[in-house]
Structure formats: C-alpha cells, structure tokens
Amino acid sequence: MPVLKSALDVTSAAYQTNRAAQLAAVAALDEQLDLARAGGGAKYAERHHKRGRLLVRERIELLLDRDAPFLELSALAAWGTEFTVGASILTGVGVVSGVECVIIAHDPTVRGGAMNPYTLRKTLRALEIARVNRLPVINLVESGGADLPSQSDLFVHAGQIFHDLTELSAQGVPTIALVFGNSTAGGAYVPGMCDYAVLVDGQAKVFLGGPPLVKMATGEEADDEELGGADMHSRVSGLSDHFAVDELDCIRIGRQIVDELNWGKLGPGPTKPPDPPRYDPDELLGIAAADFRVPVDPHEVLARVVDGSRFGEYKPLYGTSLVTGWASVHGFPVGVLANARGVLFSEEAKKASEFIMLANQTNTPLVFLQNTTGYMVGKAYEQGGIIKDGAKMINAVTNSTVPHVTINIGASFGAGNYGMSGRAYDPRFMFAWANAKLAVMGAQQLAGVLSIVGRQSAAAAGREFDTAADDVRRQAIEEQIERESHAFFVTARLYDDGVIDPRDTRTVLGLSLSAAHSQEVRGRRGFGVFRM
Amino acid sequence: MPELRKLLIANRGEIAARVMRTARELDIATVAVFSDADAEAPFVRAADEAVHLPGNSPAETYLRADLIIDAARRTGADSVHPGYGFLSENAGFARACVDAGLVFVGPPAAAIEAMGSKIAAKELMAAAGVPVLPGVTVAAGDELGAAGLAARAGREIGYPVLVKAAFGGGGRGMRVVRAEADLLDAVTGARREALAAFGDGTVFLERFVDSPRHIEVQIFGDSFGNVVHLFERECSIQRRYQKVIEESPSPAVDETLRAELGDAAIAAGKAIGYVGAGTVEFVLDASGRFYFLEVNTRLQVEHPVTELVTGLDLVRLQLLVAEGRPLPEEVRLATIGGHAVEVRLYAEDVAADFRPATGTVHAFAVPALPGVRVDAGVAAGSVVGVHYDAMLAKVIAHGPTRDEACRRLARALAETRLHGVVSNRELLVGILREPEFRAGRIDTGYLTRHDPEELSRSWRSADVRPVHAVAAALTAQARRRTDAPVLATLPSGWRNVVNAPQQAVFSCEGDELTVRYRFAEGGITAEVAGTAVAGLVLRAATADRIVADVDGVRREITVHRVGDTYFVDSPLGSTTLTELPRFPDPDSLAAPGSLLAAMPGTVVRVAVEVGDQVRAGAAVVVLEAMKMEHSVSAPHDGTVTEIGVSVGQAVDVGTVLALVDAGEEQG
C-alpha cells in the first residue's frame, strides 16, 4: 500500500496559528473535564471516603485490567445545563479480565447519584453502544434513584434502561450489576434485570420500598438490611449471586464473573501490521484549522493516524473534494471518507456511495472524517441533480451495515452531517475534535439567511425594513448559533460520544474499531433503490 | 593397588559434584547417593549412576553407612569418597568400607579415630610437641554436677571456656561460657546437640581464645610415610563459629611463621600416620602464638583456595593416594602462586541474625570473570530445604595479589544473579570491599566488630529500592500489554479523561513500596512511596528488562519474575520485590493468637498440650534450624486451643505452630 508523504510546513504561520488555537481548545476541554472528574466536589468526595467507600473513578480503575486503555464516553454530558458536568454517571468502554465491556457507573457524590434527564440519555447511549457492538455491560450501582424535580422529563423514558438490559440479555450479551450502595425503587431493577448481581455487605440496599414507604403502605416495621441488604439477598431472596465482604471483594468478584463468561468476539481481530504512523500525531494540532472555513488536507491528517501512514486512495482524481481510500488503524482494516474542501458536489456524493458499497462488499468498517459545510447549492447543481446524488450517498450511509466511526475534525453542517454518517445515521461511535462545530449551517450564514428572509418578508408586506434592529437581531442569532454549534454544547446533549484531543484520534479510533469487532462485521449486499 | 574404576560419593551438594568432576578426569565412574529431597539435585545428575536413600534427615540417609555400602555393592563401586561432614570423619564407616572390600578415600580408620576425639587428639599432639590449649573432657555418660564441672573448669582451664561436641566439627553445639553460672546449661545443650548430630554426647571444654585468627595447614600423606604440607589457609571471617571467607596464603603469616606452622602440622600428621588429605587447625592469638585446635581428617570445604594458589587438584591427589601411589613430585615442590579467596554463599538472612533461608533457586549465575571459580551445589530450579547445610555455593577468586583476588571476587559476587533464596551475597561483597578486611586486619571477631547488616548495605545505592520497584512495575506493565488479548497495541494505561495513575504495591525487605506511574504525552512519570522519580525517561521496556534514565543516568535493569516475586538486578544492586495482590483474599487472614514459624526448621519439642493455660513468654514450641534451637513463646496469657505441629515435623516460614486464645480480651 502506498505511504503518504507529508508536505506539512511546521514553521508556517498557519501551522502556528492552528496549533495555538487547538492547544487553547484542548486546554478548555481539560478544564471542563476537571469538572467531570470532580463529580460532587471535594466535600462530598471526602464524606464518601470517610464512609469507607471508593469514589466512582477509583472503582473503575480497580475494575479495569491494569494498564489497559479506557475510553470514557460522554464525559461532558449535561455541560452548560443546571446539572453537574458528567451528569452524575460515568460510562465507557474498558477491558475487564481481557474482555471489552461497557461500564456504567453512578457517581454517588453528585446528589447521591440521582438520575437526571442527561444521566438517562448517557446511560441509554452506553446501553446502545453495548447492544450494537455486542459488549458485556457492567453496572456499578449506587444511586438514590430519580432526580425528583425533573421526574417529568425522566420517568417515562427511564423504563428503557430495564428494557435495554433485558434485551441485551436476550441477545446473549451478559449484564452484570455490582451494587455498592442504594439501588432502590426503580433502581432495584438494575440488579434485578442483570444476568449477574453482586452485593456489598453493609452497603448495598436493594428494595422496591424502603422502611418509611413500607411503614406507610402496610404498617410493617422493617429495617434496611431486612428489606434489601446483601446478606438477605444472598441467603434469602437469591437476588444476589455473590456476597461481597467489601467493595474490593465486590470488584474482584465482578472481574471473576467476566473472566468466567467464556466470552469471544465475533468480528475478526486486527489483521494488518499495527505499526505507528510515520509522522508525529502531535502535528495534528497544527493541521486542524483554527477557522473551519479553511479547508484541511485529509492526507495530512491520515498520515498521522493510520498504520504506517499507509493509504490506498480510491478515485483520487474524481470528486476531489472528498478523499476516499483504504487504510488500517491498530491493525483493523478501514475504508476512510474524509472531506477535503468542505462542499460535497454530485461527483463526491456518487464517489462516496460507490465507496461505501465497496466497503460493504468486503465487510470493511468505515471511518468518516467530517469537515463539511454541506451539499452544494445553486442553479447548476440543482439542475445537475444534487438532491438525487446526495440521496444516493445518504441511502448508502444509512443502509451500510459495516461499523462506522465518525469524527468531526472541523465542521459538520447541513445535510453533510447526514451524508458523512452523523449521529442520526447510527455510527458505532462518534467523536469531535475540541474546536469542531456542528449545526444546520454556520452561525454567520444562518444569521445572514434569517436577515435576508426578514428583509424579503418586510418588502412583501410593504413594511420598512429596520436595519438597526436587524443588525441587533442578526448579532444575537449569530451568537446563539455560535454557542450552540460549539463542541461542548453538542456533546452535552449526547449528539456525539465525546470531545477528544486531536492527538488522540488514532487511539480513539483503535478503541472504537476494536469494540465494534466484538460484534459480527458484515456488510450489506442489497441496498435500497438508488435514484439515478 | 589397582586403579580405581568406580567411585561412590557418600555425600551431597557441591562437594559431591566437585569430587565427580575430578573422578571423571581420571576415568573413574561415579555413583551418587541421594535423599528424597535431593532427587533432582545437580550432583545427582552429574553422577553416572545414582542410588536413592529413602528419607530426608541425615540420620535416615547420608549417615546410613549400611545403606551406602550396600549402594556401593549394588553398583559395583570399588571405592567410596566421603566428602566432608556426614560420615567423612567416622572411623566406623571407614572401617566398614574396608571390610566390604571398598577403598575408603581418606586416612586409615585409626587416624580418624585418633583425631575423632578432640581430647585424645590434643593429648597426642601435646606429646608430639605441638602447642595446645588447656581443656577438659565430659564423657557422654558422665553425671553432670554443676559444682564438679565448675571446679574443673576453673582449675584446669580458666574462663572464658569454649564448650563443644568432642566428635564432629563445623561449630555444631559450640558455646562460649564466660561465667560459672552458665556452664551447666551450656554443657547440657552441647551434649544434646552432639548426640543428635553425631550419635555421641561427649563434650569438650577448652580455654577460649578471644578473637583469635583461625589458621589451618593443609597436609597430605601417602602410604609410603611421606607427609607434606601445602601451606596455610586463613579462615578468620566467621559467624556463629562457621567460616564465611577463607583465603590462602594468610596475610598474618610470614615465611618464619609459615615454616613453624608447617613443621607443627607435619609433626601432627606423622604422629598419627596420616595418609591422604588432612587439615591441622590452629588458633593464632594476637601476640602471634599459635595453638593446636584439631585435625580434620578429610577434604575441607575451603580446599579450593589451596588448589588455586598451588595449582594442584587435591581430589586428584586423594584418589592417587587411595590407589596406593606415592605423592607426585609436584606436591613436594609446590609453591604459593598469587592469592586465592573463597566465600561461602549461604542461604541465610543476614538481617535476621543469619537465620537460615529456604526456597527455590530460580536463577544462579556467577559472571565468568578470569580467575573466578564456582563450586556450586545448586542450580536454577534447586530447592533449598531445611534438612541440610544452607551453603549454596563457594565462589573462589585467584589473583596475583590478595587485593586483586578480593576485587575480582567482589565484582563477580556483585554481578551474580541469585534469585529465589535470601543469601549473604551482599554481606560478602561488603566484607571484600571493607578497608580493614582489605588491610588483612581480621580475626574471628571481625563480624562482631563490623555490623553485618551495615556491611551488606555498604555498597548498595540508596536509590536501589525505588528504582528497582519502578523497574518491576514497568516490566510487569510491558508483559501485561504484550499479553493483552485485546487492544495490545494501544498506548499503555491510556485515558481520554485522565484518572488516577496505575499502581503496583510491592513488599520489599519488610516495607511496602507503592509505585504509581502514568504514560502521558510520549513520556512517563512515576513515584515510589509518594516521592517522584526524578528525570525518568524510559528507553525500552519488555517483560524482563528496562532501560531507563533516572536523573540523567542511563542503566539497564533486569527483572526476573516468578509468580508475584520480582528479582531485580542492576548496577545499583539487587532487590527482591513481592507484589501484593490487587485484591486481598478475604480468607487469607490468620486467626488472632496464632504462633507462626518465623523460620524454616524442625520441631524438636512441643512444650504444651491443648487446653493448657500459658503465661506470656512461656515456651510453646521449640524449633531446630541450622544447628540452633529457637523457642517460640506465647504472645500473651491464655489457653492453648490448637497445636498444629508435632515433634520431628519440618515447618516452613509462616506455618501456624499453635493457637493461644487470650480469652475475652481477644473478643
């Protein structure tokens, strides 16, 4: 396979500007991740420790295989909302006893681990990742239940957690609950729905109704241990399969359960040489554009991401605004689609459609590097059938069954987001670089469009157009869209699985692809009708 | 006498292997005998044929003259080499061999007998004009009266008095008594140990010379009446009356003294009609006067130093003399060439008062420096148990001068890989590099004046533990990454949301060392016990070595893992680290009030019965380990609720010996 040759000038002003902008974006990301790490804050962490309990991140570090990588998901969920960054839960894909698992762990230092609407979305996304990639699920349970003030946004949908857990089980994907604390009312169904449950002595409380509720309902006097302690559930109800003397014991048993699953991945393992790229990934910081309107050469990105910087380009001379070709990441073969100059024309859409079908023919996963402002508009393009060609691409993306991993490396606007396997097209994983933008269109453009529409409607109504007011409104809209297209805003709403440092792209892809190979990797042979 | 064709070696370990080596060179077939525990020992594999002696204790095996002679008969051996220790100085055995038609490679039984009793030997020597120390014998059957004993000791000897077994050697049962009040206990104890070890409870009391130098002379006789000496050896570096470092020639002996010692030794040999290899031991006091101590009628442990300075093979000479040949010319013309120093590498814990250590030798390799010889009884895979002497090997260096021999030996030992058993290796290097030793100012009190623990530490870098702990952690990390069933090529410990660093906890020399490390941005940071490792740059890391810079200094550190134990060697020194489990086993805790064996040994006495009330400090179980009795006493007042061992049982470190329940306090 040909090896990419970088033409990057690390001394150029553009490189330095880009690098400075990316470092600032990464620093901002770290600042926000600090909030996620802090959970409920030092005071609650200390109180939790004083109770002899481990923090959620301590539990996870002990659960994971030593030195194995861990991909945390949706770390900035609920960012910018009234709820704590991270949404009082931690999810991710990690290796436990040699098995890649989805881990879902409550953070009891944040309002007792109570679930808010973002917690729910984050949990459901993690369960979806487990389902589509066929990854065993380990729940680290310690939650006070629903955040009652937001129950109306929560209650109905929350039932899906239990639905998904048992559906996973029906599909043969193991589910495990390690119960460290409260798991009451609806929460009691987490250990109830899982294939395996381990309860920690003196800490786990698993019951439908606690002592006050029982007293109210039937007048019966009962204490926590009688209603839902580890000892009772291990010896009497049988809800608990293993009695853990303490948290360490619980985690040890959890690891043992995974070890005993006799689990095997259905997809092939890595088959290509996994040698590192020939160029330093650190240079990605100077490659990613500070301004999304400046195109990024995908070859320069791939030279710092794929194995040995090897890339076999498909149709290099046709539809050149989209780069397509074959490569591998950590040994997993992939087809890559990467925007080169933002706009997608008919040629690009047709090239993409063909390439996606070819990847499906050979069961090759696809990596989408989004940096698109959308499909081309204008008389010539409409008349040339851009809608039909865009539809071909969306058809191919939609019906493709090989794993997709999508990374927004700059911009994801308009239908380009759809064609490049955006969130609605169910990529197995989707991430964004720290300064990437996502919206229906760029903020300036969107404000401009609204202004033109306003001017037209004033003219149609015979009203005088208030230019000053339009300027104010235009500015406000531009600011709003700018804010809403920010990577943190997007990820806060679970529109992707996380914001990453560009330098981590290869690692994140490797983890995502490996996880996707837990499931069978099989392309679609028959596609929907292509409009010609 | 005809040539010997097949030689049975009635011994074990390094000496058996040593004798076989020369026998082979003389085209003499070899037969080993071996106990249960020695079934896989290197000396057994080195022999052409081997015969099993069932059991483990010396009394069941290597002391069984009847079984050994039977083994010789069954294998068609025509000769027996007794090595040292065991039956080597047992006249009865020598005679039984001869009666069975076997050539006994050693002196005539009569010579052994004459020297076997230290008392009779001394009288004989005094008569031959050899200077001796005053002494008194307490025969096995004598009634031990405190008053009578004290009177004799005071009158005929004078304090301090040395009490020792009359038969056997090697310091077994030796005790120094400085006051009359302690005499009876010492004699009783020495009698019991002598009886157990040699089957004869006769005890010998003698004037004790404080901190003498131990000088001995190698003699050789043939059946033609020739007796020559092969110069002296000095064996003053001792601990617990056991030799640790030996050398030849002695830095304390000049030509005049050498001639005097040689004459005395030859006189001693001639007085008993000595044939074969023997050693006449003397003490040399501070004023330069020497006194006869004893004659060892066998090959000495430390014979290699004589071999290296004379260029002679003493086992070859033994075999030639046993064949009835006269001593070859070169023996009479022998001169001292250069200097040789030998160390005895023991499996023992210097820090725990030289407590014998057991375990499996996972690696043993001495670098092949010029002039360095290794006589080893163990190899990788050998199990060091409680049944026999704890000597693992002798390492001997020869050089043109004493200094050069010491330097070579120190370097060879410093680079030696010895994994799996605690040893005195670091102490030996410490001594060899210590100025007073190097100046030749040594005597048997050397290790009393110099703290053995400090000597052991003297050449060890202060960084050795933290740096080695990091090395152990990082090689383990590399192994886990390589062996990972998934994601093996991804960055080690990678997190997109940085979390706590990776952690490994090791136990090292009684301390817990927590290592934390994190790979980030192409580099690594690490801390040990909360202190950052300065300027750490990892150049390479595999499962068995790392190359790392610490504070600008690059070193290669090798790590050998066996289970949870990491044996780490580098120019900084050697460390053994045991990783503590990430998840403690909830069932592993011993019940409170348990008495655990602190060392491997054999139970010689159980002083209590289940149900007994005991006071804190009362002896509960007595263990014998490496010639010493150790009493394990109750940790608190209470009731004996369990006894886990019985007399004669061999126990390992950590074995629960008994349980003393303190009652309600224990709650």
Question: What string of DSSP letters covers B111-172?
Answer: HHHHHHSHHHHHHHHHHTT--B--EEEE-TT----HHHHHHHIIIII-SSEEEEESS--TTT
Report cis status (omega within 30 of 0) of the bond before B160.
Answer: yes
* Residue B428 to residue B395: CA distance in whole angstroms: 10
Give B457-500 pLDDT, tens digit per residue.
999 888 899 999 999 999 999 999 999 999 999 999 999 999 99
Q: Nearest residue on chain A to B491, judged by CA atoms? A: A69
| Pairing of β A175-183 and β A196-200 | parallel
Dihedral angle sign, alpha carbons of residues B39, B41, B43, B49: positive
Each residue's pLDDT tens digit, B329-359: 999 999 999 999 999 999 999 999 999 999 9
Query: Is residue B248 very low, low, confident or very high in pLDDT (cuts 50, 70, 90)?
Result: very high
How much is the pLDDT for B232?
98
Residue B373 near residue B396, CB atoms below 8 Å: yes
| Among B215, B258, B259, B262, residue whose Cα is nearest residue B236 | B215
Nearest CA in chain A to B474: A67
Strands (E), B259-408: 276-284, 290-296, 339-346, 348-349, 355-356, 359-360, 363-365, 372-376, 383-384, 391-399
Among candidates A70, A246, A514 on the partner chain, residue whose Cβ is nearest the Cβ of B495? A70
Contact of B582 with chain A, judged by CB distance below 8 Å, is answered with: yes
ipTM exceeding 0.90, yes/no: yes
Judged by a CB distance cut-off of 8 A, whether residue A274 touches chain B is: yes
State how far the Cα of A60 lies from the Cα of A62, in Å rounded to an integer: 5
pLDDT in tens, A247-296: 999 999 999 999 999 999 999 999 999 999 999 999 999 999 999 889 99
Looking at the complex, report in whole angstroms how far the Cα of residue B609 sits from the nearest Cα belonging to chain A. Answer: 35
Which CA distances in Å does A3 have to A309, A313, A352? 6, 10, 22
| Structure tokens, B100 | 């069975």
Rounded to a whole number, what is the distance in Å from the CA of A7 to chain B's nearest CA?
Answer: 23
What pLDDT is recorded for position B589?
52
pLDDT-based confidence at residue B667 (cuts at 50, 70, 90): very low
DSSP code string of B193-217: HHHHHHS---EEEEEPPSS-EEEEE
pLDDT digits (tens, 9 = 90+) for A216-228: 889 999 999 999 9
pLDDT tens for each residue of B109-158:
999 988 877 777 888 889 988 999 888 888 877 777 777 777 787 778 88
Round the average pLDDT of chain B to a whole number and report it. Answer: 91
Q: Residue A278 half-sphere exposure, CB side, CA atoms within 13 Å?
A: 13
For residue B626, the model assigns a pLDDT of 65
Chain B residue closest in CA terms to A90: B497
Q: Which run of H or of E encompasses B21?
A: helix B13-25
| Extended strands (E) in B28-113 | 29-34, 49-52, 79-81, 103-104
Q: Min CA distance, A483 vs chain B (Å)?
A: 23
Query: What's the average model confidence in pLDDT over A373-402?
Result: 93
Closest CA to A25 of A500, A481, A528: A500
* Cβ–Cβ gap B584/A60 under 8 Å: no
Which of B490, B542, B582 to substitute to test the interface with A, most A CBs within 10 Å? Answer: B490
As a whole number of angstroms, the distance between CA A321 and CA A348 comes to 7
In this structure, the number of other CB atoms found within 10 A of the CB of residue A426 comes to: 15
Q: How many other C-beta atoms lie within 10 A of the C-beta of residue B3?
A: 13
Asked if A72 lies within 8 A of B583 by C-beta distance, the reply is no
Interchain CB contact of A99 with B (< 8 Å): yes
CA atoms within 13 A on the CB side of A233: 30
- Residues of chain B contacting A57 with CB distance shorter than 8 Å: 499-500
- Give the number of C-alpha atoms closer than 13 A to the C-alpha of residue B431, restricted to the C-beta side: 31
At B665, the pLDDT band (50, 70, 90 cuts) reads: very low
Residue range A36-95, pLDDT digits in tens? 999 999 999 999 999 999 999 999 999 999 999 999 999 999 999 999 999 999 999 999
CA angle A487, A489, A494 (to 5 degrees): 90
C-alpha torsion sign, points B399, B404, B405, B411 = negative
For residue A98, pLDDT beyond 50 = yes
Q: Per-residue pLDDT averaged across A418-438, rounded?
A: 95
Q: How far is A212 from chain B (nearest CA, A)?
A: 35
Confidence (pLDDT) at B397: 98
What is the distance between the alpha carbons of residues B260 and B284, in angstroms, rounded to a whole number?
Answer: 12
A292-317 tens-digit pLDDT: 889 999 999 999 999 999 999 999 99
With CA atoms as reference, report the closest residue to B415 among B354, B383, B384, B374: B374
CB contact under 8 A, A514 and B497: no
Chain A CB within 8 Å of residue B496 CB: yes
| B520/A contact by beta carbon, under 8 A | no
Highest mean pLDDT: which range of A261-265, A412-416, B598-602: A261-265
- The confidence band for B627, taking pLDDT boundaries of 50, 70 and 90, is low
Nearest by CB: A66 against B480, B489, B490: B480
What is the bridge-based pairing of β-strands B29-34 and B383-384? unpaired
Residues of chain B with C-beta less than 8 angstroms from the C-beta of A265: 486
- Identify the CA nearest to B489 among candidates A324, A273, A205: A273
Chain B CB contacts of A274 under 8 Å are: 489
Distance of CA B645 to CAs A224, A527, B608, B623, B659, Å?
46, 78, 11, 11, 11
Only one residue has tokens 């994801």, namely: A412
Q: Which residue of B has its CA nearest to A272?
A: B489
Strands B276-284 and B213-221, bridge-based pairing:
antiparallel
- Cβ pairs bridging A and B (under 8 Å): 92
Per residue, the 3-state secondary structure of B31-49, as one string, reads EEEECCCCCCCHHHHHCCE
Chain A touched by B589 (CB under 8 Å): no
The percent of residues in chain B predicted with pLDDT above 70, rounded, is 97
The sign of the torsion formed by the CA atoms of A137, A142, A146, A149 equals negative
Contacts of A140 (CB under 8 A, 6+ apart): A56, A59, A60, A63, A103, A104, A105, A106, A178, A180
User: Would you say A217 and A209 are in contact if contact means Cβ atoms under 8 Å apart?
Assistant: yes
Task: Give pTM, 2 decimals.
Answer: 0.86
* One-letter identity of residue A358: L
What tens digit of pLDDT does each residue of A158-201 get?
899 999 999 999 999 999 999 999 998 767 789 999 999 999 99
Q: Which residue in A has a C-alpha nearest to residue B492's C-alpha?
A: A67
The secondary structure of residue B617, as a DSSP letter, is: T
Edge-to-edge strands, sheet with B613-614 = B594-596, B656-661, B638-643, B613-614
Is the model's pLDDT at B590 over the cut of 60?
A: no
Q: Which of A287, A268, A367 is nearest to A327 (CA)?
A: A367
Residue of B nearest to A64 (CA): B493
Which residue in chain A is spatially nearest to B520 when comparing CA positions?
A504
**CB contact at 8 A, B297 and B311:** no
Q: Determine whether the interchain pair A69/B493 forms a contact, defined as Cβ–Cβ distance below 8 Å.
A: yes
B656 vs chain A: nearest CA distance in angstroms?
25
Q: Pick the residue with more confidence: A112 or A15?
A: A15
**Average of per-residue pLDDT across B101-116:** 92
CA distances in angstroms from A249 to A94, A180, A256, B405, listed in the order given: 20, 11, 10, 56
What mean pLDDT is predicted for residues B404-409? 98
What is the rounded distance in angstroms from the CA atom of residue A124 to the CA atom of residue B510?
49
Omega before A298 within 30 of 0, i.e. cis: no
Inspect the interface and report whether the beta carbons of A514 and B489 lie closer than 8 Å.
no
Task: Provide CB contacts within 8 A for B469, sequence distance 6+.
Answer: B504, B506, B508, B513, B515, B528, B575, B577
The CA R_g of chain B, rounded to the nearest whole Å, is 27
The pLDDT assigned to B1 comes to 60
- The neighbouring-strand residues paired with B221 are B227, B276
List the A70-73 sheet strands across, edge first. Answer: A70-73, A89-96, A99-106, A137-143, A175-183, A196-200, A242-244
Residues of B in contact with A252 (CB under 8 A): 583
Instruction: Please state, for a pLDDT cut of 90, what percent of chain B lies above it.
Output: 68
A72 touches chain B (CB under 8 A): yes
User: For B330, what's the count of Cα atoms within 13 Å in the CB-facing half-sphere?
Assistant: 9
Confidence check: pLDDT of B32 > 70: yes
Q: Which of B403, B421, B295, B288 is nearest to B357 (CA)?
A: B421
What percent of chain A is modeled with pLDDT above 90? 82
What span, in angstroms and rounded, lies between the C-alpha atoms of B484 and A68?
8
Which DSSP string corresponds to A105-119? EE-TTTGGG-B-HHH
Helices (H) and strands (E) in chain A, counts: 20, 16
| HSE-CB for A299 with a 13 A CA cutoff | 14
Q: Using a CB-CB distance cutoff of 8 angstroms, which residues of chain A are in contact with residue B497?
A: 33, 36-37, 72, 75
Q: Do B491 and A507 touch (CB under 8 A)?
A: yes
Chain B residue with the nearest C-alpha to that of A74: B497
Could you tell me the two tokens for B135? 């002494």
Which 8-state DSSP code applies to residue A232? H
Q: Which residues of B82-103 are buried (b: 16+ CB within 10 A; e: fewer)?
A: bbbbbbbbbbebbbbbeebebb
Residues sharing a CB contact under 8 Å with residue A34, sequence separation 6 or more, in sequence order: none
Q: Cα dist. A76→A84, B464, B636, B657 in Å?
A: 9, 43, 58, 58
What are the backbone angles phi and psi of residue B549, rounded to the nearest 5°? -95, 135
- Within an 8 Å CB–CB cutoff, is residue B501 touching chain A? no
Chain B residues within 8 A of A255 when measuring between CB atoms:
583
Does residue B592 surpass a pLDDT of 90? no
Residue scoring higher pLDDT (B143 or B415): B415
Q: What is the pLDDT of residue B581?
A: 94
Q: Do B486 and A498 touch (CB under 8 A)?
A: no
> Would you call B374 helix, strand, or coil by DSSP?
strand
